Amino acid sequence: RNLKWMMECRSDIDRLNASFLEIYESLIPREEEKVKQKQLLALLEKLVCKEWPEARLYLYGSCANSFGVSKSDIDVCLVISDADLNKSEVLLKLADILQSDNLQNVQALTRARVPIVKLKDPATGISCDICINNVLAVVNTKLLRDYAEIDERLRQLAFIVKHWAKSRGVNETYQGTLSSYAYVLMCIHFLQQRRPAILPCLQEMEATYSVTVDDVECAFFDQVEKLRNFGSYNKETIAQLVWAFFSYWAYGHNYANSVISVRTGSIISKQGKDWTRRVGNDRHLICIEDPFETSHDLGRVVDKFSIRVLRGEFERAAEIMQYDPNPCVTLFEPY
Ligand code: CTP
Ligand code: MG
């Protein structure tokens, strides 16, 4: 039944395309915003280097992976190599330094899962989270950004999916739904799986970039300017892809046995990863393998209640894409 349903694409799907592209364009941050982010980063660098001359700051997350919508907060990572470093002490010291320089709402959250300092810059209005030595996040940010350079349909699809997830309240890890990072990985994997493929698997190609971080080897092909035509045999449009993405997560994905893996560009089995039973709080009800920390399931936050909410939302979205006369409005209606 499902297979047949999935092949019956609506006849006006191309008409929808213009509307989806319009939504995408409206979400892209303007150049001025990027300039302000750079200004804030430069200010932070100046302050940090006074105390720790060897330290470096890196942008990561949506402000640097090219999946950030306008008016996003920025994520910054302070990289500091100090053998006997106490993260809490550094964070408290950092908060001190920033407080005395007119930044607002400076707060050190030393007990969070990822300890951070939060602040707001009154000059640019930008809020910012600073973490320490989270180098894997800086590297996975590069991987996402490199994928985005290969085919612009990735950015279009991910913006629509993130916008949908925020509108529908399913982008809240503390409520058991998925992070933006997880949604972007779902989009990359989905485009790797189209036939013809729209994205390659960079980690399976000859490595032109390689770093070892916390004993994890991160290696992939990063000369993406050579891959600009990779997806050109596939002519699917953004509306078709949004339709197929939600159909896949509503009716096509095997939740009982499958793990989606951007690292291998394929579906792998839960069995192979020993993700078949509940261990502690990890239930593996929807499995999304982190491309570098391969023991991390980004679906681990999902519990037996939120999986129903999530799958209900995938089904709602798939139905709307199939039957609703005005999907570009209905899809994003607040829940
Ligand atoms: N990250 C990670 N592992 C996770 C969650 C996040 O490594 N389980 C890192 C990734 O580098 C990600 C960044 O933290 O890019 C920020 O995560 P998130 O807030 O989910 O994504 P953003 O892209 O910043 O999305 P948003 O626009 O919603 O802020
Ligand atoms: Mg973010």
Are residue 107 and residue 214 in the same domain, yes or no?
no
With respect to residue 144, please indicate whether it lies within any of the assigned structural domains. no
Cβ of 330 below 6 Å from ligand 1: no
Distance 13 CA to ligand 1 centre (A): 31
With respect to residue 251, please indicate whether it lies within any of the assigned structural domains. yes
Q: Which of 73, 108, 136 is the last residue of a domain?
A: 136
Cβ of 134 below 6 Å from ligand 1: no
Distance 183 CA to ligand 1 centre (A): 10
With respect to residue 141, please indicate whether it lies within any of the assigned structural domains. no
Q: Could you read off the pLDDT of 294-304 as tens digits, one per residue?
A: 999 999 999 99
pLDDT given at position 322: 92
Are residue 307 and residue 247 in the same domain, yes or no?
yes
Kindly state the greatest CA–CA separation across the chain: 65
**Tokens read off for 111:** 């007990």
Ligand in nearest proximity to the CA of 135: 1
**Which residue bears the tokens 């395309």?**
17
Place 9 in a pLDDT band, splitting at 50, 70 and 90. Answer: low
Q: Could you read off the pLDDT of 169-178 as tens digits, one per residue?
A: 999 999 999 9
Are residue 115 and residue 12 in the same domain, yes or no?
no
**Which residue bears the tokens 């993700």?**
275
Are residue 39 and residue 22 in the same domain, yes or no?
no
Rounded CA-CA distance 142/61 in Å is 9
Nearest CA to ligand 1 atom 13: 61
Are residue 291 and residue 258 in the same domain, yes or no?
yes
- The DSSP secondary-structure symbol of 196 reads S
Are residue 111 and residue 192 in the same domain, yes or no?
no
pLDDT given at position 2: 52
Ligand in nearest proximity to the CA of 299: 1
Ligand in nearest proximity to the CA of 148: 1
With respect to residue 262, please indicate whether it lies within any of the assigned structural domains. yes
Distance 268 CA to ligand 1 centre (A): 23
Distance 16 CA to ligand 2 centre (A): 29
Mean pLDDT (the chain, rounded): 94
With respect to residue 145, please indicate whether it lies within any of the assigned structural domains. no
Are residue 119 and residue 201 in the same domain, yes or no?
no
Ligand 1 binding pocket mutation candidate from 179, 186, 288, 290 (most atoms within 8 A of CB):
179
**pLDDT > 80? residue 159:** yes
Q: Could you read off the pLDDT of 96-119 as tens digits, one per residue?
A: 999 988 899 999 999 998 999 999
Ligand 1 atom nearest the C-alpha of 179 is 20
Q: Residue ranges of the alpha helices (H) in the chain?
A: 2-7, 13-27, 31-51, 87-99, 135-150, 152-167, 180-193, 238-247, 270-273, 306-323, 327-330
Look at 5-19, 20-34, 40-54, 91-105 and tell me which has the smallest mean pLDDT: 5-19
SS3 of 268, please?
Answer: strand
- C-beta separation of 157 from 201 below 8 A: no
pLDDT given at position 146: 98
Are residue 190 and residue 87 in the same domain, yes or no?
no
Q: Which of 136, 166, 183 is the last residue of a domain?
A: 136
User: What integer is the mean pLDDT of 239-265?
Assistant: 97
pLDDT given at position 251: 95
Q: Could you read off the pLDDT of 14-33 as tens digits, one per residue?
A: 789 999 999 999 999 999 99
Rounded CA-CA distance 121/105 in Å is 9
With respect to residue 234, please indicate whether it lies within any of the assigned structural domains. yes
Are residue 113 and residue 42 in the same domain, yes or no?
yes
Are residue 214 and residue 74 in the same domain, yes or no?
no
With respect to residue 207, please indicate whether it lies within any of the assigned structural domains. yes
Order across the sheet with 104-109: list the strands.
56-60, 74-79, 127-132, 116-120, 104-109
Backbone torsion region of residue 17, taken as left when φ is above 0, otherwise alpha when ψ lies between -120 and 50, otherwise beta: alpha
**What total number of domains does the chain contain?**
2
Q: What is the CA radius of gyration of the chain?
A: 21
Q: Output the domain CATH number for residue 114.
A: 3.30.460.10
Whether residue 196 has a cis bond before it, omega within 30° of 0: yes
**H-run or E-run covering 129:** strand 127-132
pLDDT given at position 3: 47
172-192: burial string, b at 16+ Cβ within 10 Å, e else: ebeebbbbbbbbbbbbbbbbb
Distance 173 CA to ligand 1 centre (A): 11
Cβ of 165 below 6 Å from ligand 1: no
Classify residue 307 as exposed, middle or buried by CB count within 10 Å of its CB (0-12, 13-18, 19+): middle
Are residue 107 and residue 169 in the same domain, yes or no?
no
**pLDDT > 50? residue 4:** no
With respect to residue 217, please indicate whether it lies within any of the assigned structural domains. yes
Ligand in nearest proximity to the CA of 64: 1
Distance 79 CA to ligand 2 centre (A): 18
**H-run or E-run covering 258:** strand 258-261
pLDDT given at position 157: 98
Rounded CA-CA distance 166/178 in Å is 10
Q: Which of 136, 168, 199 is the last residue of a domain?
A: 136
Are residue 43 and residue 12 in the same domain, yes or no?
no
Between 29 and 281, residue with greater pLDDT: 29
Ligand 1 atom nearest the C-alpha of 68 is 27
User: What integer is the mean pLDDT of 84-91?
Assistant: 88
Q: Residue ranges of the alpha helices (H) in 208-285?
A: 238-247, 270-273
Q: Could you read off the pLDDT of 216-250 as tens digits, one per residue?
A: 999 999 999 999 999 999 999 999 999 999 999 99
Q: Could you read off the pLDDT of 163-205 as tens digits, one per residue?
A: 999 999 999 999 999 999 999 999 999 999 999 999 999 999 9
Q: Output the domain CATH number for residue 279.
A: 1.10.1410.10
Q: Which domain holds residue 161?
A: 2-27+151-330
